[in-house]
Structure 1
C-alpha cells in the first residue's frame, strides 16, 4: 500500500495562481527520522532538516550553538531581518528572524520570502526542523503562532495550492525513503484522493475513526486519532495496542507495556481501519531498511 499524506489548509486569503509545484527526495538518517533539503538566506545556506507534522515553522541550529556542527549564519545573508531575542523552556536562548527560505534542492527550488525562522542554540537531528503542522498557540518558542510555511507561500502567490504530499516507500535503500511534493499532489507516486476527512481538532491533525481490525482482533468503538506521516510507529490506547500485540506475537520492551516489538521476519495480518464510513487496509508486507 502506498502511503499518502496530503493537507489542504482552510481559511486562506486569495493569491494569484502560479501552479508552482516542486519535489524533493525524503531521506532517513535513523528509523523514523526523515529529513529533506532546505536553503536559507541570500546567498543560500544549505541544510538537512527533519520533517515534522506536529510542529509549525522552521527551526534551525544557529551559529551561536556550541554543540552544533552545521549552523545558520544570519550575518552572511543580505535578505535576513532580525525580529527578536528570546529564552525558551529549559533556559535555551533563541533568535527569531525572517528570511527567504527555499524548499527543495537546486535547481528545483520553491522560494518562500518573508519566512519566520527560529534560530536555536540546541542541536537537532540533522540541522533543524521543518514543521508542516497547523497554526497553533503553542509549539517551540515563538513560531507556533505564525502561519504555516505553505500558507505563507500561498498568500504571497508562490504556490497555487497550500498543499503538500508525502509518499513513503515500502523499502528504504541507501537512506532514500520517499518523496515530498510542495504545492500540490504527487501524481507520479500516488493515485487519486479517495476521500477527505474533516479534522476533529483544528490545532492538530486529529481525525475521528470508527473501528479497526487486525487479524482475529476487531474493535468497533469510535476513537479520535492523531495522524502523523513523519512518525515511525503506531500508538494507541493500551488495551487496543495490547490486543494487537497479542495477535502479532509481539513482545513488550518495557515493564509498563508501553512499547512492543515484533520479529521483522514474522508473517503479520493486514490492518484495516474505518474513516468516514470507508475501510482502508494496510497489507502485511515486509519492509527493509538499508543505510
Structure 2
C-alpha cells in the first residue's frame, strides 16, 4: 500500500463526521476533483457535513464570521456625518432623485492578491490545472470612478494614480458634466470647467439651490470660462444652437417639478408656436429692447429701454418710478421692510402688458401675485436700479411662465412662444 501525505486534523474530523452522517469519502473526493479550488467550507456546506461542536454552536444560533472592517472615523468626521443626516433626514424621494452618487474602487487585474488554495494530488503541484497564474508585482490593479443618479448610471472613468485626490476629483467632474433629463436621457458635455465659491453671500444662506448654472454668454464668465451650453454647441452636441425654457406656476413650493429646459430644440410640447424673435442688443446677458411696459389701465412707461430675460430672478424688476406707477394701478402698496408691493391675497389685478418688437405680451393676474407665506401676498414686481449702466429691467419668472423663452445662441436673438400651461 502506497503511503500518501497525512490528512490534516480538520479533514480527519470531517472524514469521521461523514461516517456518522452516512456520506461516503468518495463524495468528498469527487467534489474536490471536480473543482480543485473549492474550499473546505464549501465542501461542508454542499454535503451537509459537520462536527458535534459546530452543530451545537449553530443550533444555538452562533455562526462563524469574519469581523466587519470599517474606516476609523474621527470625532470631527463623526459630527459632520451626524449634521448631514439631520439636515437631510426630511428629504423625500423627489429631492434625493436630484442627487448624483459617486465612488471609486480599486480592481485587481489578476483577481485576489492574497493566497489562493487548491486541492490536488500530492505529486501534481505544477500541473497547469492546479496553478494560479501570476505576473510580476502581482499583475497590477486599476482604480476607476463611477457615478449614477435615480434615472441612470453615469460614465466610468479610469484614475491613473493609486489614490483619489481633490484635484483628480475636480478634473473628473470637468470632463463628465451631464444634464440628466426626462426618461433617463442625458446631455454629457466634456471639458466643462467648474467654479467653486470661497465665500457664500448671505443672500444664498437659505436658498434651496446648490449652485448656479450660467446660461448667458462667455463675455460674462469669470476668467473667460466657456459656459456649458455654449461648450456643447462648439462640440456639436446639440441639434440646434439654442435652448428653450418653460416654467410651471407652482408658487414657492419645493420638491416639485418647476418646468422644463430643452437643449438644442424649441419645446413644442409645453410651448405654442413662436410669436416672434427679438435681436439682442448686447450678447452679454440675454439683453434686448422693450418698447413699453404698461397695464390694461394705462399706467407704467412707454419709454424704450434695454431689458434682460433671467431665469434666476423670481420677479419683474425695474426703476422704482415705473414700478410704483404699475403697483398703484394694480392695487399694491409698497412695503419698505420687504421691498415688495403688498396686496390682498384674494385680489384679481389687471393685465400687465409688455411691448417687444411691436408685439404685445400679456401677463395675467395669476402670474402677477404670489403668496410668500403666512398669508403675505405681493405683486411680482420690485424696484431695482442698475446704477445707470446696463439694462433697466429684469424680466424674470412671471414673464417666462407666461411665455416660453427661446434662447438662440447661434443667431444672438431671443424668441417668445405662449406657454400651454393654464393657470
Name the TM tier (shorter chain): 0.5 to 0.7
Q: Report whether the alignment pairs 1:102 with 2:185.
A: no
Q: Aligned-pair distance for 1:222?
A: 1.2
Whose radius of gyration is greater, 1 or 2? 2
Q: Report whether the alignment pairs 1:222 with 2:298.
A: no
CA distance in 1, matches of 2:332, 2:184: 46
Using CA pairs under 8 Å that are at least 6 residues apart, name the structure with larger relative contact order, 1 or 2.
1
Q: Aligned-pair distance for 1:283?
A: 1.9
Alignment of 1:139-150 (within 5 A): 139=221, 141-142=222-223, 145-150=224-229
Contact 1:38 1:102 (8 Å CA) reproduced: no
Query: Where does residue 120 of structure 1 map in the other structure?
Result: 197
TM-score (normalised: structure 2): 0.44
Count residues with an aligned counterpart: 211
Q: Aligned-pair distance for 1:269?
A: 0.5
Structure in which a larger fraction of residues adopt strand: 1
Q: Aligned-pair distance for 1:79?
A: 7.8
Q: Aligned-pair distance for 1:229?
A: 2.5
Q: Residues 288 and 244 of structure 1: is their aligned pair in 2 closer, same or farther, counting only changes over 3 Å?
A: closer
Q: Aligned-pair distance for 1:271?
A: 0.9
Q: Aligned-pair distance for 1:78?
A: 6.9
Say which of 270, 281, 284 aligns to 2:351.
270
Query: Where does residue 235 of structure 1 map in the other structure?
Result: 317
Structure 2: gaps (5+ residues): 1-96, 103-144, 151-163, 374-423
**Is 239-248 or 122-131 further displaced after alignment?**
122-131
Contact 2:250 2:258 (8 Å CA) reproduced: yes
Could you say what secondary structure the match of 1:260 adopts? strand
Say which of 228, 234, 243 aligns to 1:155.
234
Structure 1: gaps (5+ residues): 1-35, 48-73, 83-96
Query: Where does residue 281 of structure 2 map in the other structure?
Result: 200
TM-score (normalised: structure 1): 0.62
CA distance in 2, matches of 1:113, 1:77: 17
CA distance in 2, matches of 1:163, 1:251: 40
Structure in which a larger fraction of residues adopt helix: 2
CA distance in 2, matches of 1:289, 1:264: 7
Could you say what secondary structure the match of 2:324 adopts? helix
Alignment of 1:1-291 (within 5 A): 37=98, 42-44=145-147, 75=165, 81=171, 98-105=174-181, 107-122=184-199, 125=207, 126-136=209-219, 138-139=220-221, 141-142=222-223, 145-171=224-250, 175-216=256-297, 217-254=299-336, 258-285=339-366
Q: Residues 120 and 44 of structure 1: is their aligned pair in 2 closer, same or farther, counting only changes over 3 Å?
A: farther
